[in-house]
């Protein structure tokens, strides 16, 4: 067995390592699904424009299609309204001539000869069909008109592969006639909770026992990132049990373990992984909670390539923080997503908080406010095992290392849930 070498990284360094690993994971398979069944999934093929968008010069207003030049001079005598064109129709009459106007609705194609639309609010029709622009009203050529193909050309890539099919992408796909789309298959993520104290949901609890909540939290987090969670039976804190369960989990696309990575006498996960042939990328991080996190890879049994694993600290808030910061980017890559790193926002501290001299802190926090300003306050907690406090949080406040005190009113980063 190889000698244990510790490698403890700053948050930024650890993230960079995960992102580097993410570059190397194989692209997942593709499957074709009805459009709405694919919502939330990762596109495996781009959404391509079916035709020029708009397919014709389109009026963006209800009003009157006119020739823009000479509109001001037309105030006195007015313009003759020669017809109406509604959305869904095309004007089949002769091209518009000087002195003429065509009543047009939003979304209708522009008639030949016209180059702008006078809004209905800026004109009046009197004397049995004579249009009078309001005094002094002029129009630029092209005003209130989107030219053919200005939004996209036929065949252009509207959404690249690797993006999540959210509501905006569903709208685009629908606008291009995609009844079905091609998305990436979900990577399988094995979840292995370790601990002698753990009891499953329907089992009877002994006094000193606790329920296995991490497997469920992780399954929910995995599901939210387009992974297929596979919950393994709890591994007890013995080398034998860990060996067997790791063997069962290493066939997945990603293996997540929780617990057993600290310095305790029964924290055997790192050794069990090493014994299984693991290479470690890092064995700890300078973050809190989450310091004991380990990341590495196992050779695929009897095949080529590697299965990445994370040994997540057992305390439930550490587990969640490490998932959001480090598992998410790798899982997104395994799911075929091109955007991987978590996105942070900014908020102002509603109250002061202690920072960490040597660790970047990611503390459960309540983020509030509206568009005029977002505030954040730490949720009082009893430490990284306090699931009740975590339940009162809607995100995490980030306190970069090296600063002892963060004062009320300061701007800090937050990670939204
Ligand atoms: P460990 O990392 O194994 O030392 O565990 C740290 C703390 O997290 C201990 O208090 C454990 O009881 C708790 N813990 C470990 N695994 C789980 C789990 N699957 N669900 C809930 N709590 C856990
Ligand atoms: Mg344990």
pLDDT score, position 128: 85
- Ligand 1 pocket: which of 315, 386, 388 to mutate (most atoms <8 Å of CB)? 315
What's the CA-to-centroid distance between 289 and ligand 2, angstroms? 16
Low-confidence ranges of the chain (pLDDT < 70): 1-3, 75
pLDDT score, position 3: 59
Ligand 1: which atom is nearest the Cα of residue 292? 2
What's the CA-to-centroid distance between 314 and ligand 2, angstroms? 6
What dihedral angle (degrees, nearest 10) is formed by the CA atoms of 261, 7, 26, 249? Answer: -20
- Ligand 1 pocket: which of 199, 258, 384 to mutate (most atoms <8 Å of CB)? 258
pLDDT tens readout for residues 191-204: 999 999 999 999 99
Residue nearest atom 14 in ligand 1 by C-alpha distance:
314
What is the spatial distance between Cα 364 and Cα 348, in angstroms, rounded to a whole number?
15
What is the spatial distance between Cα 330 and Cα 75, in angstroms, rounded to a whole number?
65
Q: Does the C-beta of 387 come closer than 6 Å to ligand 1?
A: no
Residue nearest atom 3 in ligand 1 by C-alpha distance:
259
What is the spatial distance between Cα 222 and Cα 140, in angstroms, rounded to a whole number?
53
Ligand 1: which atom is nearest the Cα of residue 264? 4
pLDDT score, position 27: 82
pLDDT tens readout for residues 335-354: 999 999 999 999 999 999 99
Q: Does the C-beta of 244 come closer than 6 Å to ligand 1?
A: no
Q: Are 43 and 30 in contact (CB under 8 A)?
A: no
Q: Does the C-beta of 146 come closer than 6 Å to ligand 1?
A: no
pLDDT score, position 304: 84
Which of 370, 353, 365 minimizes the C-alpha distance to 390?
365
10 Å Cβ neighbour count for 3? 5
Q: Does the C-beta of 311 come closer than 6 Å to ligand 1?
A: no
Q: Does the C-beta of 219 come closer than 6 Å to ligand 1?
A: no
Ligand 1: which atom is nearest the Cα of residue 260? 3
Q: Does the C-beta of 214 come closer than 6 Å to ligand 1?
A: yes
Give the pairing type, strands 353-354 and 360-370. Answer: unpaired
């Amino acid at each position: 067995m190889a000698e244990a070498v510790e490698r403890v990284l700053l948050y930024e360094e650890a993230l960079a390592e995960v992102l580097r690993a993410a570059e190397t994971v194989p692209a997942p398979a593709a499957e074709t699904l009805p459009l709405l069944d694919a919502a939330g999934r990762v596109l495996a093929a781009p959404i391509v424009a079916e035709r020029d968008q708009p397919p014709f010069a389109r009026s963006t207003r209800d009003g009157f299609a006119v020739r823009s030049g000479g509109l001001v001079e037309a105030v006195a005598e007015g313009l003759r309204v020669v017809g109406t064109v509604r959305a869904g129709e095309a004007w089949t009459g002769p091209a518009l001539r000087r002195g003429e106007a065509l009543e047009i609705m939003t979304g209708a194609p522009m008639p030949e000869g016209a180059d702008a639309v006078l809004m209905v609010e800026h004109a009046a029709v009197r004397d049995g069909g004579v249009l009078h622009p309001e005094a002094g009203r002029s129009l630029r050529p092209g005003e209130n008109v989107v030219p053919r193909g200005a939004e996209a050309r036929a065949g252009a890539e509207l959404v690249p592969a690797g993006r999540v099919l959210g509501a905006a992408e569903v709208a685009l796909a629908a606008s291009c006639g995609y009844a079905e789309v091609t998305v990436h298959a979900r990577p399988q993520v094995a979840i292995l909770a370790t601990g002698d104290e753990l009891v499953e949901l329907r089992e009877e609890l002994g006094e000193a026992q606790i329920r296995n909540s991490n497997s469920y939290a992780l399954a929910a987090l995995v599901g939210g990132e387009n992974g297929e969670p596979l919950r393994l039976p709890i591994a007890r804190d013995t080398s034998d049990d860990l060996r067997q369960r790791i063997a069962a989990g290493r066939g997945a696309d990603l293996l997540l373990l929780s617990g057993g990575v600290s310095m305790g006498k029964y924290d055997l996960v790192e050794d069990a992984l090493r014994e299984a042939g693991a290479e470690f990328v890092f064995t700890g991080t300078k973050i809190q909670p989450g310091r004991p996190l380990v990341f590495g890879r196992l050779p695929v049994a009897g095949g080529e390539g590697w299965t990445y694993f994370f040994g997540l600290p057992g305390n439930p808030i550490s587990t969640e923080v490490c998932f959001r910061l480090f598992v998410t980017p790798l899982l997104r890559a395994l799911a075929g997503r091109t955007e991987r790193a978590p996105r942070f926002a900014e908020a102002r501290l509603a109250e002061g908080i202690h920072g960490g001299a040597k660790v970047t802190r990611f503390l459960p926090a309540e983020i509030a406010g509206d568009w005029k300003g977002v505030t954040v306050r730490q949720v009082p907690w009893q430490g990284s095992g306090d699931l009740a406090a975590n339940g009162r949080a809607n995100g995490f406040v980030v306190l970069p290392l090296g600063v002892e005190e963060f004062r009320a009113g300061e701007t800090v980063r937050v990670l939204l849930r």
